[in-house]
Amino acid sequence: MIVVVGGTGTVGRQIVDQLHRDGRKVRVVTRTPAASADAAQGIEVVAGDVHDRRSMVSALAGARTVVCTVQGGGGKGRNGPKGIEGAAIPMLLNLARDAGIEHFVYFSSASARPDSPVEFFRLKFEVERALRAGDVPFSILRPTHLMDTWTETLAASIVRKGKATVLGSGTSPVSWVAGADVARVAATLATGPGEGWTADIGGPEALPLTTVNELIATALGRSIEGHNRMPVRMLRTMAPLTRPFNEVLARQMRMGALLDTQPQVVDSEAVWSRFGRPLRFAEWLEVNGAVPGR
């Protein structure tokens, strides 16, 4: 049995689908099982909250592998980084050890580092450190920026305002990666033993944000009529002022500043030689479209 914690999220959903297509026994852990469509497809769905020890003990019962995609980057309070990466996931690691889990597949980030100016990435690095120091066999996936989530955000601005959102200069190259490709790696790893495999996972090309906006506009059949520019200095200044009112937006501003101030290109050739060719951004748009919410 493979348990997917965060199995209703962007990548988690695709991992569950891949495992199910491959005929694997998969269990989705969600706070709202009644709202999940997985049960109708023959996938086991159980109630569980990563903050609730008892529900997670039950969710892990009889499992061999845990795939953890849950993260606090888009949450606040107990569902933000301190609550998820700082408390819930460390508890889950302890429960996995006690349950005799043979493989813990963890979704970190290529930006995770101990000196990151963004708390979310510092805490992700601490989870990585705990895995390496612990007794549970593991794999760590460190994806870069997902095409899936960025396309939805960038397309919304182009559709509603005719403007392209540009964080920082918009000229720094980024190794965008498709959620489906990351999910394929995770699903494949989940069927085998944990061997301490760790890798940064980026796409096959490094594109600046300005080029990505142009690709999305083309896919939408729109022209970009202007730009909503947010320079690094503005992002850094506004983040602490915004935090008391909207901690999620403040965190996104800090993350946005990293596009220009830290390298966003990774070499994942070894990953794709093992797991198959990944999609380029234009290919992903052709398959998935660029309409928000599609």
* Domain contains 186: yes
52 inside domain: yes
The domain that contains 193 carries what CATH number?
3.40.50.720
Instruction: Give the C-alpha distances (Å, rounded to integers) separating 209 from 105, 154, 173.
Output: 30, 10, 7
Domain that holds residue 125: 2-144+179-202+266-279
Q: Is residue 235 part of a domain?
A: no
Q: What is the pLDDT of residue 291?
A: 64
Contact call for residues 26 and 59 (beta carbons, < 8 A): no
215 assigned to some structural domain: no
User: Is residue 285 assigned to a domain?
Assistant: no
Cβ-contact 30, 8 below 8 angstroms: yes
Spans of the chain, pLDDT less than 70: 34-40, 290-294
Report if residue 239 sits inside a domain: no
Residue 196 domain flag: yes
Run of H or E including 275: helix 269-275
Q: What is the pLDDT of residue 293?
A: 45
Give DSSP secondary structure letters for 16-28: HHHHHHTT--EEE
Number of domains in the chain: 1
Domain for residue 91, yes or no? yes
Q: What is the pLDDT of residues 243-252, one digit of tens each?
A: 888 888 888 8
